[in-house]
Amino acid sequence: MSDISGVLERFEGRDWSVPVRGAEVVGLLELQAKLDATVARAMASFDRSSEWSEDGARSAATWVAAETRRPRTELRRWLGLGRALRFMEATGAAWSSGEISRAHVELLVPVSTGVTATAFRRDEEKLLTWARDLSFTEFRRELVFWRQLEDPDGVETDAAEQVGNRTAFLVRGFQGSWLGRLCFDAVGGTIVAGEVLRLEDELFEADWAEARERLGRDPLVSELRRTKDQRIADAFVEMAMRSASTPPDAQRPKPLITVLVDYPTLSGRILQLADGTPLAPGSTVAYLDEAMVERAVWRTPKRMEISARTRLFTGATRRAVEVRDQRCRHPYCEDIPAERCQVDHIVPAARGGPTTQDNGRMLCPFHNRLRNKPPPPKEDRRAPPDDDDVIYEDVEWWPDG
């Protein structure tokens, strides 16, 4: 524990008006992961000691809750993780070294037992490689795909439960306001979320243009007239208004289901929605009469290419980049899905860069604009007030090619 104490001592009495370096934050989170792993192991060890029963407690979690005034549900989760680590040696080592976080472990524990236990022991190192190398969203998606292959029946059961558990309610709250809760299955939720976020993007562009005209410069996100949450709320209202004004016989949009096929082996056919949401095959049945299905084969040369001289990525070429990238590829993006992104030429078209899959990557509108904008001088860099602003660090600026 000396390293933890030493780090905390360095932060004692710190002047928090002085910005903390990004490397310090990363180091603290790695240290937290190590401490979390230690707490989980300690809870499991304390549970095995039965010391807690000497004071009349019914469980180790109850004893610790009484001593620390922490919620028992939280302590039970710690205890469950500690118990699971006894059978997940490599996972425990990666967590204890700070390579993965508690969030990763909480996803790995459910697939380490039951039907997938044998497959987990076989593939544990591969799963940990995904946890170390991929973004958390990508890791979670790959883990879902892995479970589809190893426990197809269980995945179908979970998908059926998702559909059965769908619910929505909207009730009038204090002073005439409305409060609600939504719970959708994977397909239904993707349809609703996709449209709401598309409308939120429209509202953001309108707010940005209004603020730029008002201020005479590019605004900070904090200077827009609405917050992101307010725009999402307004997007629901806008969606309802457009629905009310749409004729009953209007053409309905169709969900797009992508079938991914590993071309060399034709093994592991995977279903996902156009935005990358993994699907159990059975969950698509109710939508097949309305949906469009595409097959993506990885990878035959130029299978989905069109003219390399085309200025913009369109048609099959754009779709191929969307399926491959899944999301905005800027390293500091917030996992904006590909359908809300633009395809950027890695080597700019102005320099002769071709419009091909290999020269394309998905970037959200913000980062596509940012790419062509040089970093501001250090003296002009201002720390943003919230997570939606750009944080300029002393890191290498994205190169053009």
Instruction: Name the residue type at position 312.
Output: L
Give residue 261's pLDDT.
61
Give residue 400's pLDDT.
40
User: Could you give the CA distance from residue 330 to residue 213 in angstroms, rounded to a whole number?
Assistant: 28
Instruction: Name the residue type at position 277.
Output: T
> In whole angstroms, how far apart are CA 164 and each of 159, 180, 184, 186?
9, 19, 9, 12
Give residue 374's pLDDT.
62
Dihedral over Cα of 81, 87, 91, 96: its sign: positive
Q: Would you kindly state where each structural domain of the chain is located, as residue ranges?
A: 2-155, 184-244, 254-298, 306-401
Read off the pLDDT of residues 32-84 as tens digits, 9 standing for 90 and up: 999 999 999 999 999 999 899 998 999 999 999 999 999 999 999 999 999 99
Lookup: tokens for 384: 């943003």
SS3 readout for 259-316:
EEEECCCCCCCEEEECCCCEECHHHHHHHCCCCEEEEEEECCCCCCCCCCCCCCCCHH
3-class SS at 350?
helix
Give the DSSP letter string of 23-82: HHHHHHHHHHHHHHHHHHHHHHHHHHHTGGGGGT-SSHHHHHHHHH---HHHHHHHHHHH
Site of tokens 């059926």: 160
306-401: CATH topology? DNA Binding (I), subunit A (1.10.30)
pLDDT tens string for the chain (401 positions)?
556 667 777 777 788 888 888 888 998 999 999 999 999 999 999 999 989 999 899 999 999 999 999 999 999 999 999 999 999 999 999 999 999 999 999 999 999 999 999 999 999 999 999 999 998 988 998 898 899 889 988 888 888 888 889 999 899 988 889 999 999 988 888 889 889 988 998 999 999 999 999 999 989 989 999 999 999 999 999 999 999 998 888 877 776 767 666 544 334 456 777 667 777 777 766 666 767 766 666 555 544 444 455 556 767 778 888 888 888 888 888 778 888 888 888 888 888 888 888 888 999 888 888 877 665 555 444 444 343 333 323 333 344 43
The β-bridge relationship of strands 278-279 and 360-363 is unpaired
Please give the sequence-ordered ranges of beta strands (E in DSSP) within 173-286, or none if there are none. 178-183, 256-262, 270-273, 278-279
Give residue 270's pLDDT.
64
3-class SS at 88?
coil
Give residue 310's pLDDT.
56
> In whole angstroms, how far apart are CA 186 and each of 150, 327, 383?
20, 18, 37
> In whole angstroms, how far apart are CA 63 and each of 50, 51, 338?
11, 9, 48
3-class SS at 144?
helix
Crossing angle of helices 117-133 and 136-150, in 10° steps, is 160
